[in-house]
Structure 1
Amino acid sequence: MASTRGTLALSKAGISFSLHPYDYDPKAEHTGLAAAEALGLDPAIMLKTLMIEVDGKPACVAIPAGNSLSMKRAAAAFGAKQAAMMSVPKAEKLSGYHVGGIGPFGQMRPIRTVFEESAMSGPVIYINAGQRGLIMGIAPDDAARFLQAQIAPLVA
């Protein structure tokens, strides 16, 4: 099975997760929804990782694949006045991953992260493992604790 910086960091920390490869479609309009469909997963617990900027500083959010991010809620979650999507080149440089394969674990440097609260109540969430076509299943509490992430309402 493939290893990424994210899977290696979680393994080193002793955090368990499962890996779920699928056929990545670069032409899919919504890659998170495409991954959920390919793996037979509920889009409510299939999270997409988005790189944003809050008051000009990098941040990361993870929301259910079928939802849209509320920039107002994202800014509030980080205690900021405004939030905006990060440019693709900047997101790839800061995360160290390619768009379509950005996951919150093992990024090039620690970036403040917030998870959408509606996805965090079950036993598992699914999120990109750091490579296109590779999803990981992980306990929500383990994911949040490892990243020192907040949990807040983020979706529109």
Structure 2
Amino acid sequence: MGRSRPGDGPSTPATVALDRAGVPYVRHAYAHDPAASSYGLEAAAALGVQPARVFKTLLVDTGRGLAVGIVAVDGQLDLKAMAAALSVKSVTMAQRADAERSSGYVLGGISPVGQRRSLPTVLDDTAYGFPTIYVSGGRRGFDIELSPVDLETQTRATRARIGRPS
């Protein structure tokens, strides 16, 4: 996987951050269908990738602030496991407006990379079963492919089992 070129897709805070850090990644743009019921499953189908390799970025409220959970699109975030990984009593899903304001991205296009604020982040350990994974590139219809280790490094993520089957 070589360094991505700006012409390969849009420039977003995520791609700017990865380019600045010299992290190798691949840009994948696809035609987003506004009627899609699941942004992540839409991405997997459009890119021809198994859903277990495509990860969604979810923001949670810990009661003391927001945090980021990154799980496969074919599963769900286990809120109890997320709370345990963050060493807090409980978490709830963040309100849409809070997630968008904090991250700087719109729902369905929230990237774990290049967010406005650095938040505690947990990456589901199933990501490490693949050489590369796909996450939102910061826009609907745009994913970036990178190694889970590089994603962990760039987001200063903790590795934990936070996903569960749907």
- Aligning the two structures, in what range does the TM-score lie when normalised by the shorter sequence? over 0.9
Q: Spell out, residue by residue over 1:88-134, the C-alpha distance to the aligned partner (whole angstroms, 9 max, x if none).
A: 11110000000010001110111111111012222101000111110
Could you tell me how far 1:48 is from its partner in structure 2?
0.6
In 1, are the aligned partners of 2:39 and 2:140 still within 8 Å (CA)? no
**Alignment size in residue pairs:** 156
Cα distance in 2 for partners of 1:28, 1:73 equals 28
TM-score (norm 2): 0.91
Residue of structure 1 aligned with 2:123, choices 94, 101, 115:
115
Residues 33 and 65 in structure 1, CA contact (< 8 A), matched pair in contact too: yes
Give the equivalent residue in structure 1 for 2:3.
none
Correspondence 1:44 to 2:18: no
RMSD over aligned Cα atoms: 0.9
What is residue 62 of structure 2 aligned with on the other side? 54
What is the letter of the counterpart of residue 115 of structure 2? Q
| Matched letter for residue 8 of structure 1 | V
Question: Which residue of 1 is the match for residue 42 of structure 2?
Answer: 34
Partner of 2:15: 7
Helix, strand or coil: the match of 1:2?
coil
Structure 1 residue identity aligned to 2:21: A
Q: 1:155 aligns with which of 146, 163, 166?
A: 163
> What does residue 90 of structure 1 align with?
98
The alignment-based identity, stated in percent, is 37
Within the candidate set 130, 135, 144, 2:152 is matched to: 144
SS in structure 2 at match of 1:91: helix
Structure 1 equivalent of residue 4 of structure 2: none
Query: Which residue identity is paired with 1:24?
Result: H
Equivalent residue letter for 1:90: D
Structure 2: tracts of 5 or more residues without a match: 1-8
2:140 paired with 1:132: yes
Deviations 1:63-99 (A, max 9, x none): 0001011100010010110011001111100000000
User: Which 4+ residue blocks in structure 1 deviate beyond 6 angstroms?
Assistant: none
Residue 20 (1) aligns with residue 14 (2): no
Higher mean C-alpha deviation, range 93-102 or range 118-127: 118-127
More helix by share: 2
**2:86 corresponds to 1:78:** yes
